[in-house]
Amino acid sequence: SSAQDEETVTRGGDITLQCEADGVPRPAISWMKDGRPLSTGRRAQILNEGRLLRIQDAQVADTGRYTCIAVNVAGQADRKYDVNVH
C-alpha cells in the first residue's frame, strides 16, 4: 500500500513524519530521502524504532520526498511524504 502526504514547514521549524508500521513480527523500518538512505545526525533523528522521523531546525535543503519503508514477512508497505521547507 502506498500513501502520500504533503508537509509544509517554515524554515527553522520542526518536521515530524510518522511511519504507521504494525505487524507480527514487527516490521523493519527504513527511511529514504529522494531515493537514498536518510542520513541522521544532529538535526535528524529516527525515534520509536523507526516509526518517527524528526528533523529539527528545518532548512531549505531538507525539502524533498521522504519515504518510510516497512518490511516484514507479510510484505512491504511504504508511505511517501513530500516535504517543503520555505
In whole angstroms, give the CA distance from residue 21 to residue 62. Answer: 23
In whole angstroms, give the CA distance from residue 36 to residue 66. Answer: 9
Average pLDDT, whole number, for the chain?
Answer: 92
The residue type found at 12 is G
Residue 50, SS3 per DSSP: helix
The residue type found at 69 is I
What tens digit of pLDDT does each residue of 6-36 get?
Answer: 999 999 999 999 998 878 888 999 999 999 9
Please check whether residue 16 is in contact with residue 61, taking contact to mean a CB–CB distance below 8 angstroms: no
- pLDDT grade for 74, boundaries at 50, 70 and 90: confident
